[in-house]
A and B are shown apart, each in its own frame.
Chain A
Amino acid sequence: GESVGLHLPTLSVQEGDNSIINCAYSNSASDYFIWYKQESGKGPQFIIDIRSNMDKRQGQRVTVLLNKTVKHLSLQIAATQPGDSAVYFCAERARIQGAQKLVFGQGTRLTINP
């Protein structure tokens, strides 16, 4: 389940199961969204993106769903593998205090149980 404070929310799944990671974004005017994967000691790695005029986009083993009504984004990973263990961040492109920029969510740590 989720926790608040300094610790990242954690999602534990069995290897081979599907994973669903959720994200609430803040700005209703955001026009572009990206999911990133970050492994320990590395920079964020692009997974999949979606524009605000779409509600679903599929990649290889990943699907992103966008619900603009409730400002919610989700990342579905099919047949989760050990290599999927990482922290996953959603990011929205928003104009906040100046120019458009990527604004990141808190992140969710995905752990895979063998």
Chain B
Amino acid sequence: NAGVMQNPRHLVRRRGQEARLRCSPMKGHSHVYWYRQLPEEGLKFMVYLQKENIIDESGMPKERFSAEFPKEGPSILRIQQVVRGDSAAYFCASSQQLDRGYGYTFGSGTRLTVV
């Protein structure tokens, strides 16, 4: 039973390019959360999705950032026109139905570097 899979592990983009980060949740998990982590800091919530629905995007910047979790395939975090300040580690976590499952499992992250 594979864990949460994120790819790519490392991503380098020039300023102004687009970054696409992918996350495949654990089998049986229907809830996906994206977090951002700057060096020497904690994880900051960005967005919470279920299949085909954005449940809570209160932590996501209003511009340039978007997320989706389609019926088929992985969840995608998309950053348009990247800037140096977007450089960070982006982690995805998945969980089962909230009322029953309490475990949140994290992937290994994607480290985005904007040059």
Contacts and interface: CB of A to CB of B under 8 A. Distances in A.
Contacts of A89: 42-43
B43 A44 contact: yes
A7 interface: yes
Contacts of B56: 97-99, 101
Interface string B87-102: 0000101000010001
Q: Interface size bucket, A side?
A: 20 to 34
A36 B43 CA distance: 11
- The residue in B4, B42, B44, B58 that gathers the most chain A C-beta atoms within 10 A of its C-beta is B42
B58 A98 contact: yes
B41 A101 contact: no
Contacts of A97: 56, 58-59
A46 B4 CA distance: 13
28 contacts: A7-B40, A8-B40, A34-B104, A42-B108, A43-B4, A43-B106, A43-B108, A43-B109, A44-B43, A44-B91, A44-B106, A46-B103, A46-B105, A51-B102, A89-B42, A93-B102, A98-B48, A98-B56, A98-B57, A99-B55, A102-B33, A102-B104, A104-B35, A104-B42, A104-B44, A105-B42, A106-B42, A107-B41
Given A32-B102, A89-B42, 13 more contacts: A6-B41, A8-B40, A36-B106, A43-B4, A43-B91, A44-B43, A46-B104, A46-B105, A98-B56, A98-B58, A103-B45, A104-B35, A104-B44
